[in-house]
Every structure is written in structure tokens, then in C-alpha cells.
């Protein structure tokens, strides 16, 4: 039998991948944190020289994003990540008590399957691989259809480096035949311990996979509120730069701008100054006509394209230095197509009378399509910031910073991570930035400790006795305990 | 139409329950931690007087366990839990930074569905309800078939107390028609945010439910190793008392005893002294014959019965003060039925030449049926304890204490909880003791922070330029960054 159908080939590959990864994990369990850290050191230094070529290949295959930005992202992200990983212990003995007794042990989970996104493939593949190795797991990279080639190239480089540095064969895997049947097989396989889905919602929403710990980290539709106390020039520039970076491909890029009424005109003119182009009604109609395939689906050719390209493709022209296209809306239309997940430099602009209305609007925006995991605010009023933070259904809120970068831990207090937990989008069990520790479980060691409270012995109450008397007695006794 | 089939009635009830709980959660979101704590205070004090009657009803319905023990468990567990809940903030602002800026916010998840076990129903229902309220969630209690009556009674008491204390109607729900179709409906409903399955593996293993964060907390099959440095008399008594408490119904009750060779006889005689009865081969055969319905399934009538009852039912007699039946085995038989989850006072006893062999045996026992989430050791040798803790696939290890109690936080350093995360049994995403915080997500507030490292600007590399020169340049630049 020479010929095997595509779906079966994919299923066969899936089985072999999971079994190899499982077997490699048996060996990997013998590696301590230092052994793993050595692999990471080597991988982080040896992969650098390959990055420009890999990014070229990624852009050639996906035709999305901006090379200069992608390289800049590597430059900013990797040193912070390296610092973080260097000073971190996630497996083995993590904590001792004051008597030098072991209290907590970090343990790897096993085989981690990673569903890669269609954008920033190399950086996502590298990040997922690094946190998997850091936490002693084996990893299977599952590319999206039509991006197999770039992941294959990445894999061949990484597998080589990892094997050279002593990682067991099969510890890093990559799927070549990505038919749905095979992907489902990987996800449902009993030896797959954890699934990390980086922005491929269909594997959640179609209910194809079952009862497995799953982490989801997709693209959010981030609303940003500019309050009247904000540094408006900085805020306007920050939003435009953040939204347009890599043509809008970062997972928490801003999608909605809400400006407080008293400063709305200033915000608009400062945004224009920074490279925003406010669309006329007819231009907006043209853009919508070309951007959407149907009500809810964006034309994939428009993903990661520049503002000028989007305009040209829609049949109108904008100044050459335009970085983002802005649609101003008086209120939220129920059928507003701009509330869909948009991975290109388009913003919707609303004017709100005050921060409380902005609060309401943000909640509505985040709930309409349930796409949101991140929120941003520009303000110098700590009380407003605090109030604003309390009620929104998001996993993180960025204060006075560009959401694209702050959310992933660049120049921000948030943990460095490219995978932004999407619990608030209704998927996965993690809302925070996903880090190596999330790919482990912790074993707690319990020691005996005398109870502080005194306990009262209650004699066995036989069934024959009068129950109501029992009740009174026991209630008294229990009350006594509770009142102590 | 008067008559509705059982499955449809259950589905209808499921829908109404989830929708009511969802609507109640909208109101509950306005409650602060203090409001919720007031409800908890009232519930914890008002429910006490009802407990003896509820426990009577539970024993009458399940015909399992020991009333005296169950009441003792309430007495020990509730005061510790009360202390814990009192000093804990899980929703609202949790953490501020040194500038008094808000950093972390705890947020309730929404509707929490709880699949109750068939044993310790009242205590589990109460614990699940308390941690759900503490964390601002609404809860739906789903009893096992044939235990609806006791949960109904519990529910009517609790719902009354909660409504009196101002909790919105529908915040606590209880399922009356527990057909599989209805239960599945609850678990798969888009408005169900979290499922806590307390020991009903079929909802994981049958893959009936999909892509929802699920916590599993079942009964483990705890191995306990008694090393030669242990206080043997104390260890032997502790194991027998712990295993026989409530006729073996606590989730981490010991199931396998491994004694180091040099002290094995002492352990045996001390265990006998403490109430253990070592079975002869023929008695063991009789016990197996009556205990198992087939290879893997324990006769439910034997769950939670006393050692003397088990013996009598199997056709042999044991001294009246017998607390546990012990089957001594020279090695692990592949088909040993005693490795199944056993919720009755039976132990298997192995002799091991040293702690390293015991280590291996524990791992094998834990992996055979993948039932284990807890391990115990008696030893005074800190080095052995540490080594022993490192490699076992369990979420917790108990040192020198009775596993039944130490695991749930009674007289131990572990967090007080009746739900022992079962990740290591292949189910759910939590391995630790499940507490109120696990029913929330946390929103992180990110502030800008200047980067410590200097970044080098890289000019855009145009596709036309010579790629190899680019590569060299960029690699140098990146290397420079990495070397800093």
C-alpha cells in the first residue's frame, strides 16, 4: 500500500509524535533545572543568527507584518525573557520551611501540544519551546495550514541545537501533516498532558477536544480609554504606535479608543499628528466592503497589512505617513463589524462624556463578541484608574503604556510572555500571562502541626437515642467550638 | 402535555438552573468580600444545628460511614475552615504596589457546577457552597443518583439561610432530576464557568463534557511508607486510625502500607495492636469474592462499611475490635484487584528491603491504575523524606501524619480543603488542595517600567539588500544585546 489519504497520514503522524514526546519525557524527567537551563542558554544564543532568515521566510509565507518591527520585537523581548528565565526555578525543590524541610516541588506535566497562530510564528514557536524546556516538558508544535514550511525550518534549526545540547530525541516535535483529524488526535491523545492554543479558537469552539487542561492565548480586542488627566500627546502617539506596530499583529494591540469628551478634539488632532487617519463615511464603507468576507469574517489577505495598503486596496488613498485608519462612531452599533477581532492597523474611536460612561462602554465592547483579555487606560488620576480596573472582564489592564508591548512584559511590570491567557474570552483556565510555571504542577509536602483550637470529643450518638436531644447537645458543643 | 420523559425533564431543569445561577451572578458581582463574608458567617453558624439531622439522613440514604466519625470531622474541619475563610480576601483589590497603586484584583468566575460524590455528601456540599460564596460565585449542586434526597434537604436549609442573609435568589442551586442528559447539559452550558467534579470520574473518562475549565477532586489510593527511623508505634496506630476513620471514606485514606524490611515485623505487630487484622490466604480469597462485582468494580454495598462487617459478609470472622483488614503481598501482582480505588477499611501490606525499593514500588502503585494524588511517609531522616518527595506522581505528600486528616488540612501545614486536586490522576487542571481562590481569576494591572537593558536600534532591512550581510550584522547586534 503506497498511498495513504491525507487525514490518515495526519492521524498516523499525530500518534507517532505524541508517543515519541511521551518517551522523551521519561528521559527528560531525569534532568534538573540546571540541565534544562543549559539547553535554554544554548538555544537562545544559537538561534539568534538564524532569526533574520526565519523571519524572512515567515513574511514570505504569511505575507503579513513588518520585518523591521518583527526584528525589533525579538531584540526587545528576548533579553527580558532571558533575564526572567535565568533567575527562575520552576522544577525540583522550590521552597523549604524554616526547619530546612522541603515544602514545594515543581513537576513537569509531560507532553505539551502547542497550536501555533498564523502570525508571529517564529517568535511564538520560540517562546513556547523555551518555556516548555524550562519546565521540563516535551513539546509538539502544530502549525496552521499553509504555515508548515516556516515552522518546519524553525523546527529543523531548533531540534538540531537542542540535540547538540543534550536534550533527548523527540523532546521537540513538529507536525507536518496538519489535517484536522490529526490535530484532534494530538489534542485528545491520553498522553498529551496540556494543550496551549495560541489563537486558534476553532479547537475550543467546535468542541473537538475533550477534558484536557487547555490554555488559550489569542488576540484580544483591547479597548483603551484616554481620560482628561492623561498626557494626551504621549497617549495619542503611544496608541497609534502600538496599534500600527507590525501592522497590528501583537495579541493585545488596541482596537477601540475611548476619549473623554472634554479632550476628544485634542486626542483626535494628536492622533492625527502621530499618524492616524480618520475615515470619512464613504471611505469607511469602502474599507468595510473589502475588509470583510461576510459579517464576522475578515479577509485573511488583510491581516497584518499596512494602513496605506488597506486604504489602497479599498479604493481610496491616505497620506503616505498614515499608520492607522480610524473609524469614529457616535455609539456602539449592535452589528458593528469593527468589534470583530481585527489583526490590522484599524481603530474605532468613541467619545464618552466621562470615565463612568467609558467604563460602561468598555464592558459592553468586551462583552459583545467576548474577544477581550486586555484593557488599557491613560490617566494620572489614581482613583479613576483603580475604579476603572475593578469591573472589566479582562485578565490584565495596562496603565499609561502601549498595550501591544506592556501586555507582553516589555517595559512593564507584567510578566514577560507572548501568550496572554484568554480565560475572559471563555476559553482555557488561565487569565494571566502564560509562563513556564504554568506548564508544571506543584507537589506540596504537608507536615503535622498541632491545632490551635481545642476540640471537644462528642460521643457516638446511637440511632436509637432521641434525636432532638442529640441535636441540642451537639449544636451547643459545636457552637462552643465556633465561638472560641 | 402532562408527561415529560425523565431525560428531557432533567435537561429542562439543567437549563433553568444555569440561567438562574447566571442571572444571580450578575447581582452577586456587586457584592464585596465583606458582604460575602457576612453570608458565610451566618451560614456557618446557622447550619450547625442542622448537621446531626442531615448526617443521619445521609447515613440512612447511603448506608455508609460512621456517624460518630462524621460528626467529629465536622468538629475538626469547620473551625479550621472558619479561621481560614475569615482571614482571606479572594475577590476585589488583593494587592497594591509600593506607590499604593492597585496591582491585582480577584474576580469571581460565574456559575460553578459541583458534581457531588456519593460519600460525605453533606460536608462536601457545605464546603463547595462555602468556597463558592467566599469567591462570589453562584453554585449548582449536582447530587449522584440515589442521593438526591439528602442534598435536597441540605439545599433547602442552606438556601433559606443564604436568602435570609441577603444572597440573591438562584445563587445556590440544586439539581433534582439527575439524568445523565441533564448533568451533561449543565456541564456543557456556555454559562457554566467552571466544573468541580468531586469524585465522579465518568464525566471525565466518558468524554461527555467539553473544553471547560474542570477541577477534579476524587479519592486517591494513598501509599504510605514506614521507614526504619520512624516512630513505629505511632506510625502503625496512625495508619490504622486514619484508614478506618469513617470506614475509609476520606479522600486520601491510606490504601497501601510499605514497611522497610528491618522493621516489618514490628510494624505488623504494632498495627495488629492498633486494630489491624492480617488476612489468611483463604480469608483474602473470600473477601475478594464478595468485594468485587467484576475485575475493576467494587460492590457499592461494601463502600464505607466496617472491617467486621466486611469480614462477616465475606464469610469469616475477625476480633470485634478489628478496624482494618490487611492483605499482605510479596510483590505487586499485575492483576491485583486491591489496586483499585477502595473506599473501605482495607489495606495492602508490602515489605521492602529499603527506602529506594519502596520509592520504586510507590511509583508503580501510583501508576498502575493512575488513582493516586497523595503519598505518605513516616521517617525521621530528613534526607530520605526529601528524596522520597521528589519523584512521585502526586499532588501532595504527608510526612509523619495520618493521610486522611493531614491531606485535608487538619493538624497539618496543608491548606484546609475537602477537595484534593486530582491532576495526577489525569483529570482536571489542579493538583493542590482546592480552595476559594481557585474559583476566581486574577486581573493584573500593568504599569510602565523602564527597561534595564539598553536596546540597539536596527534599521529596516529591505528585501533587496544582500541577505547574508544583514544576517551577519544582525547576529552581531543581537549577540551584543545578549552578552550584556
DSSP sequence for B320-374: TT--EEEEE-SS--TT-GGGS---SSEEEEEEESSHHHHHHHHHHHHHHS---SE
Of A184, A149, A217, the C-alpha closest to A439 is A217
Multiple choice CATH, B6-217+435-442, 2.60.120.200, 3.40.50.300, 3.40.605.10, 3.40.50.720: 3.40.605.10
Burial letters A217-238, b for 16+ CB under 10 A, else e: bbbbbbbbbbbbbbebeebbbb
The DSSP string of B124-139 is HHHHHHHHHHHTT-EE
Q: How far apart are the first and last CA of chain A?
A: 78
Nearest-CA distance A153 → chain B (Å) = 16
Burial letters B339-370, b for 16+ CB under 10 A, else e: bbbbbbbbbbbbbbeebeebbebbbebbeeee
Strands B297-298 and B292-294: antiparallel
Other beta carbons within 10 angstroms of residue A463's beta carbon come to: 10
Nearest CA in chain B to A71: B458
Of B53, B42, B51, the C-alpha closest to B75 is B51
Taking CB atoms and an 8 Å limit, are A448 and B100 in contact across chains?
A: no
Q: Which residue is it, cell 489577505?
A: A301
Measured between beta carbons, the chain A residues lying within 8 angstroms of B210 are 207, 209-211
Taking CB atoms and an 8 Å limit, are B101 and A385 in contact across chains?
A: yes
Q: How many residues in total does chain A contain?
A: 484
Give me the mean pLDDT over the B33-59 stretch. 96
* Residues 6 or more apart whose Cβ sits within 8 Å of residue B466: none
Nearest-CA distance A91 → chain B (Å) = 10
What's the CA gap between B389 and A180, in Å, rounded? Answer: 41
pLDDT at B231: 97
pLDDT at A332: 67
What's the CA gap between B205 and B61, in Å, rounded? Answer: 27
Nearest-CA distance A342 → chain B (Å) = 23
A145 to each of A115, A117, B205, how far by Cα in Å?
A: 11, 10, 31
Q: Is residue B479 over pLDDT 90?
A: no
Q: Cell numbers of B481, please?
A: 544585546
Burial letters B280-301, b for 16+ CB under 10 A, else e: eeebbebbeeebbeeeeebeee
Other beta carbons within 10 angstroms of residue A308's beta carbon come to: 18
| B335-366 confidence digits (pLDDT tens) | 678 878 899 999 999 999 999 999 999 998 88
| B61-101 confidence digits (pLDDT tens) | 999 999 999 999 999 999 999 999 998 999 999 999 989 99
| B219-243 confidence digits (pLDDT tens) | 888 999 999 999 999 999 999 999 9
Taking CB atoms and an 8 Å limit, are A52 and B474 in contact across chains?
A: yes
> A222-414 adopts what CATH topology?
Aldehyde Dehydrogenase; Chain A, domain 2 (3.40.309)
Rg (CA), chain A: 26
pLDDT at A368: 77
Exposure of A297 by Cβ count < 10 A (0-12 exposed, 13-18 middle, 19+ buried)?
exposed
Taking CB atoms and an 8 Å limit, are A443 and B395 in contact across chains?
A: yes
Residue B389, SS3? helix
What's the CA gap between A449 and B409, in Å, rounded? Answer: 9
Taking CB atoms and an 8 Å limit, are A400 and B447 in contact across chains?
A: yes
Taking CB atoms and an 8 Å limit, are B448 and A204 in contact across chains?
A: no
Tell me which CATH homologous superfamily contains domain A6-218+435-442: Aldehyde Dehydrogenase; Chain A, domain 1 (3.40.605.10)
Give me the mean pLDDT over the B367-395 stretch. 91
pLDDT at B469: 46
What's the CA gap between A177 and B321, in Å, rounded? Answer: 65
* Residues 6 or more apart whose Cβ sits within 8 Å of residue A469: none
What's the CA gap between A344 and A325, in Å, rounded? Answer: 9
Measured between beta carbons, the chain A residues lying within 8 angstroms of B188 are 207
What's the CA gap between A49 and A149, in Å, rounded? Answer: 19
Residue B391 DSSP symbol? S
Q: How many residues in total does chain B contain?
A: 484
Measured between beta carbons, the chain A residues lying within 8 angstroms of B386 are 93, 101-102
Q: Which pairs with CB-CB distance under 8 Å and at least 24 residues apart come from A203-210? A: A203/A115, A204/A426, A204/A427, A204/A428, A204/B211, A207/B188, A207/B210, A207/B211, A208/A180, A208/A184, A209/A184, A209/B210, A209/B211, A210/B207, A210/B209, A210/B210, A210/B211
* Residues 6 or more apart whose Cβ sits within 8 Å of residue B137: B25, B28, B108, B109, B110, B111, B112, B193, B194, B439
Residue B215, SS3? strand
What's the CA gap between A71 and A39, in Å, rounded? Answer: 23
Residue B374, φ and ψ in degrees, nearest 5: -140, 150
Residue A428 DSSP symbol? S
Residue B94, φ and ψ in degrees, nearest 5: -105, -25
Nearest-CA distance B98 → chain A (Å) = 13
* Residue B375, strand partner residues: B397
Structural domain boundaries in chain B: 6-217+435-442, 222-414, 454-484
Q: How far apart are the first and last CA of chain B?
A: 78
Burial letters B114-123, b for 16+ CB under 10 A, else e: bbbbbbbbbb
Residue B225 DSSP symbol? E
Q: What band does B297 get if pLDDT is binned at 50, 70 and 90?
A: confident
Q: Cell numbers of A295, please?
A: 459579517
For chain A, helix (H) and strand (E) counts, in that order, are 16, 17
Taking CB atoms and an 8 Å limit, are B446 and A413 in contact across chains?
A: yes
What's the CA gap between A190 and A97, in Å, rounded? Answer: 36
Taking CB atoms and an 8 Å limit, are A431 and B442 in contact across chains?
A: yes
User: Which of A93, A211, A406 lies closest to B214 in CB terms?
Assistant: A211
Of B133, B220, B214, the C-alpha closest to B406 is B220
Give me the mean pLDDT over the B286-312 stretch. 92
Taking CB atoms and an 8 Å limit, are A475 and B48 in contact across chains?
A: yes
Nearest-CA distance A459 → chain B (Å) = 7
* Residues 6 or more apart whose Cβ sits within 8 Å of residue A466: none
Q: Which residue is it, cell 494524588?
A: B373
Please report, in tens digits, the pLDDT of each residue of chain A (484 residues total). Answer: 568 899 999 999 999 999 999 999 999 999 999 999 999 999 999 999 999 999 999 999 999 999 999 999 999 999 999 999 998 999 999 999 989 999 999 999 999 999 999 999 999 999 999 999 999 999 999 999 989 999 999 999 999 999 999 999 999 999 999 999 999 999 889 999 999 999 888 877 665 556 789 999 988 889 999 999 999 999 999 999 999 999 999 999 999 999 999 999 999 999 999 999 999 999 999 999 999 988 778 899 999 999 999 999 999 999 999 999 999 987 766 567 887 889 999 999 999 999 999 999 999 888 877 778 999 999 999 999 999 999 889 999 999 999 999 999 999 999 999 999 999 988 899 999 999 999 999 999 999 987 655 443 433 344 444 444 445 555 555 555 555 4
pLDDT at B85: 95
Which range, B353-357, B367-371, B477-481, is most confident? B353-357
Amino acid at each position: 500500500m503506497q498511498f495513504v489519504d491525507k487525514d490518515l497520514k495526519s492521524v498516523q503522524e499525530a500518534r507517532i509524535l505524541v508517543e515519541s514526546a511521551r518517551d522523551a519525557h521519561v528521559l527528560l524527567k531525569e534532568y534538573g533545572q540546571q540541565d534544562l537551563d543549559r539547553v535554554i542558554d544554548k538555544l537562545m544564543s544559537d538561534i539568534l543568527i538564524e532569526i533574520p532568515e526565519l523571519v524572512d521566510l515567515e513574511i514570505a509565507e504569511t505575507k503579513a507584518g513588518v520585518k523591521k518591527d518583527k526584528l525589533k520585537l525579538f531584540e526587545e523581548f528576548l533579553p527580558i525573557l532571558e533575564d526572567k528565565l535565568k533567575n527562575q526555578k520552576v522544577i525540583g525543590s522550590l521552597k523549604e520551611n524554616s526547619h530546612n524541610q522541603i515544602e514545594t516541588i515543581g513537576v513537569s506535566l509531560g507532553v505539551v501540544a502547542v497550536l501555533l497562530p498564523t502570525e508571529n510564528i517564529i517568535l511564538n514557536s520560540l517562546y513556547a519551546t523555551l518555556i516548555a524546556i524550562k519546565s521540563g516538558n516535551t513539546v509538539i508544535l502544530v502549525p496552521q495550514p499553509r504555515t508548515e514550511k516556516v515552522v518546519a525550518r524553525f523546527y529543523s534549526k531548533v531540534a538540531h541545537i537542542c540535540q547538540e545540547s543534550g536534550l533527548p530525541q523527540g523532546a521537540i516535535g513538529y507536525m507536518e501533516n496538519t489535517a484536522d483529524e490529526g490535530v484532534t488526535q494530538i489534542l485528545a491523545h491520553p498522553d498529551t498532558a496540556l494543550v496551549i492554543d495560541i489563537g486558534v479558537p476553532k479547537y475550543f469552539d467546535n468542541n473537538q477536544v475533550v477534558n484536557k487542561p487547555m490554555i488559550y492565548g489569542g488576540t484580544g480586542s483591547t479597548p483603551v480609554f484616554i481620560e482628561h488627566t492623561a498626557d494626551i500627546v504621549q497617549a495619542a502617539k503611544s496608541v497609534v504606535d502600538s496599534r500600527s506596530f507590525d501592522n497590528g499583529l501583537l495579541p493585545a494591540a488596541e482596537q477601540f479608543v475611548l476619549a473623554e469628551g472634554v479632550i476628544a478634539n485634542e486626542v483626535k488632532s494628536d492622533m492625527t499628528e502621530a499618524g492616524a487617519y480618520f475615515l470619512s463615511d464613504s471611505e469607511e464603507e469602502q474599507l468595510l466592503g473589502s475588509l470583510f468576507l461576510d459579517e464576522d469574517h475578515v479577509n485573511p489577505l488583510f491581516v497584518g497589512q499596512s494602513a496605506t495598503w488597506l486604504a489602497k486596496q479599498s479604493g481610496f488613498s491616505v497620506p503616505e505617513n498614515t499608520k492607522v485608519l480610524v473609524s469614529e462612531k457616535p455609539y456602539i452599533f449592535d452589528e458593528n463589524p469593527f468589534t470583530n477581532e481585527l489583526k490590522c492597523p484599524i481603530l474605532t474611536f468613541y467619545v464618552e462624556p466621562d470615565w463612568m460612561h467609558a467604563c460602561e462602554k468598555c464592558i459592553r465592547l468586551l462583552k459583545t463578541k467576548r474577544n477581550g483579555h486586555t484593557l488599557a487606560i491613560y490617566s494620572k488620576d489614581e482613583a479613576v484608574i483603580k475604579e476603572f480596573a475593578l469591573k472589566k472582564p479582562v485578565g490584565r489592564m495596562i496603565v499609561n503604556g502601549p498595550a501591544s508591548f506592556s501586555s507582553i512584559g516589555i517595559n512593564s511590570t507584567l510578566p514577560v510572555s507572548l501568550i496572554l491567557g484568554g480565560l475572559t474570552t471563555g476559553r482555557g483556565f488561565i487569565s494571566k500571562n502564560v509562563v513556564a510555571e504554568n506548564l508544571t504542577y506543584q507537589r506540596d509536602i504537608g507536615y503535622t502541626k498541632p491545632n490551635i483550637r481545642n476540640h471537644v470529643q462528642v460521643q457516638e450518638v446511637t440511632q436509637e437515642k432521641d434525636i432532638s436531644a442529640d441535636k441540642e447537645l451537639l449544636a451547643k458543643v459545636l457552637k462552643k467550638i465556633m465561638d472560641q
